[in-house]
């Protein structure tokens, strides 16, 4: 494309096209997959129940002893129970013993 001649205006759509392309790339490559992962994690946390084995975000392994609205009572050994926030759940260990992704 030739440079604009004096007295001739450049197309404003062509000026904003790179910005629009960058926004689309950002949405489809970063924002959308992140929202999908976040939704899957929220669903996983909402489906946990008493007796499930979990790993917290800080690496503590335990079995769920009680579930409340925003907290979980986690049994980490025979005589030790700790209360954690639901947001601290890192992953749920599937029933077959393999680590969840």
Mean pLDDT of the chain: 86
Q: How far apart are CA 40 and CA 43, in angstroms?
A: 5
Where are the domains positioned within the chain? Answer: 11-47, 49-93
Q: Does domain 49-93 have CATH number 3.40.50.300?
A: no
pLDDT in tens, 83-96: 999 999 998 988 77
Q: How far apart are CA 53 and CA 61, in angstroms?
A: 7
pTM exceeding 0.85:
no
pLDDT greater at residue 63 or residue 4: 63
């Amino acid at each position: 494309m030739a440079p604009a001649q004096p007295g001739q205006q450049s197309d404003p759509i062509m000026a904003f096209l790179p910005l629009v392309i960058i926004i689309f790339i950002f949405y489809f490559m970063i924002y959308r997959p992140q929202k999908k992962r976040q939704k899957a994690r929220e669903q996983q946390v909402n489906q946990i129940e008493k007796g499930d084995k979990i790993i917290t975000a800080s690496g503590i392994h335990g079995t769920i002893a009680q579930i409340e609205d925003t907290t979980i009572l986690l049994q980490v050994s025979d005589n030790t129970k700790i209360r954690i926030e639901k947001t601290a759940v890192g992953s749920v260990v599937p029933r077959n013993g393999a680590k969840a992704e």
